[in-house]
Amino acid sequence: MHDKTLTQLANALGSGELSSRELTEHYLQRIQHSGATLNSFITVTADQALAQADAADQARANGNAGWLAGLPLALKDIFCTQGVKTSCGSRMLDNFTAPYDATVVEKLKAAGTVSLGKTNMDEFAMGSSNENSYYGPVNNPWDLSAVPGGSSGGSAAAVAAGLTPAALGTDTGGSIRQPAAFCGITGLKPTYGRVSRYGMIAYASSLDQAGPMARSAEDCAHLLNVMAGHDVRDSTSVARGVPDYAETLNASLSGLKIGLPQEYFGEGLDPDVEKAVREAVRVYESLGATVRDVSLPHTHYAIPAYYVIAPAEASSNLSRFDGVRFGHRCDNPSDLIDLYKRSRAEGFGDEVQRRILIGTHTLSEGFFDAYYTKAQKVRRLIRQDFLDAFEDVDVLMGPASPTPAFDLGAKKDPVSMYLQDIYTIAVNLAGIPGISVPAGFVGRRPVGLQILGTHFAEAQLLNVAHQFQQTTDWHLQRPDFAEESA
């Protein structure tokens, strides 16, 4: 059952071959069985899941079940879930039970999905390996000595291992696409503003975006159909119609113009990753696409600009965690200042504290213009690079990450970890959508092909990804782990 895609499971539910209860029990069992090995879940909501499954089965019997009704999902622990612990991977929120549902959670519930639980993640979504979680690292099901990527590492590992058919992630600088690449699954970061951020714990508000992680582009299309849309509770969500993303999956790619950014194929790129990506591009040529080289000349500045802007926004967003209103509070504070200091020192891990320090510094008087204002100007140039490229081509293709998954504990200094996001971060600065699809292996470790489109081109990206998955079967391969723990 767990080797099926969401689409295949939806069909099995529709034909009555399977009930949502059977499906849900199967996945809950798998989570329990592999929990200790992978550490991909922080919280499992078995009782709630079974109640939702029964309600979906009932709705189907009454003839009013939608496409997603009865399908199990997992949620990154950054999404507020009413009555369920929402930790954001942090000791700070270890004791926090959200009093309301995030908009995407509310929408997926209303569509009849079953929530299996909350997945592990880097603390406050800061990281590229899931090693920054208060709840410990996640192992990559393809190779347990490798990281699953981050920050949505728990979601990616759980989908790859067949513990859930799909999961939600968030992407501020690559956190959906890079773990999707490392775990051999499909992950879509939508255009900024396409999906509501309401109830999603904020890291860097001008960059954060939620998206689907699943085994195929088709599965992602069905999830995005429900997740996307304007929300009056998020003023940055865009009031723009939501097309049926599943309807255009089979459009022909004949005449598609693909650009290969030369900056994404330079120094630092693992030759085996490059080979897999170039082979994937050849598959597109065989489908009728034309390929040309393009340039995104400001790519080099993306990481420095991001590491000014993201920590600045984070330092502001995280100031609400002060030990007073909610979250961790230190024992026996001597006065108010002591309460603030110790609660924050105890509640936040090292990487989060590092970002707060950087952000506080760059926003301080005397440094603001030199750092923050400058970074915003660079951001504009990076955005313009993409808009110029999309004058000439329909989509851009390249690797999602310069290397396959690295070993747990391998990256000791923060800067080498930050460099991991070299191909994903500019996309968030520009606000455009991107998808990572499985495109081969280096040894046992998967490689992700990244496809980028202009603002609101999700339907096109899903179409382009789906056509690749009609021709190749990288996305259907499973780690041995998924079979062994059957």
Binding positions for ligand GLN, rule: CB under 6 A:
125-128, 151, 171-175, 203, 310, 421
Q: Is 151 annotated in the active site? A: yes
DSSP code at position 189: E
Interaxial angle between packed helices 217-227 and 6-15, expressed in degrees from 0 to 180 and rounded to the nearest 10 = 70
Compute the distance between CA of residue 55 and CA of residue 35 in angstroms, rounded to an integer: 26
**Residue of 128, 133, 175, 237 with catalytic role:** 175
Contact status, residue 168 vs residue 189, Cβ threshold 8 Å: no
* Cα→Cα distances 226→67, 69, 81, 113, Å: 10, 11, 17, 11
Please report how many Cα atoms fall inside a 13 Å half-sphere around the Cα of residue 80, on the Cβ side.
Answer: 17
DSSP code at position 405: P
Query: Strands 445-452 and 434-442: what pairing?
Result: antiparallel
What is the widest separation between alpha-carbon atoms in the chain? 70
Complex with ligand GLN: residue 7 or 130, whichever CB lies closer? 130
Determine whether 17 is exposed, middle or buried from the number of CB atoms within 10 Å of its CB (0-12, 13-18, 19+): exposed
Q: Is 175 annotated in the active site? A: yes
Q: How far is the CB of 186 from ligand GLN (least distance, A)?
A: 17
DSSP code at position 478: -
Complex with ligand GLN: residue 127 or 162, whichever CB lies closer? 127
Q: How far is the CB of 147 from ligand GLN (least distance, A)?
A: 12
**Residue of 20, 40, 151, 216 with catalytic role:** 151
Give the contacts of 10 (CB within 8 A, at least 6 positions apart). 67, 68, 71, 222
Contact status, residue 147 vs residue 124, Cβ threshold 8 Å: no
Contact status, residue 64 vs residue 17, Cβ threshold 8 Å: no
Query: Strands 72-76 and 166-170: what pairing?
Result: parallel
Q: How far is the CB of 174 from ligand GLN (least distance, A)?
A: 5
DSSP code at position 84: B
Nearest to 142 by CA among 184, 177, 175: 184
Cα 256 to its chain centre, rounded Å, is: 27
Three-state SS letters, 267-319: CCCCHHHHHHHHHHHHHHHHCCCEEEEECCCCHHHHHHHHHHHHHHHHHHHHH
Complex with ligand GLN: residue 65 or 126, whichever CB lies closer? 126
Number of residues written out for the chain: 486
Contact status, residue 450 vs residue 424, Cβ threshold 8 Å: yes
Compute the distance between CA of residue 40 and CA of residue 30 in angstroms, rounded to an integer: 12
Owner of token pair 């598959």: 283
* Cα→Cα distances 434→116, 209, 252, 307, 396, Å: 26, 11, 20, 20, 9
**Residue of 19, 34, 76, 133 with catalytic role:** 76
Catalytic residues: 76, 151, 175
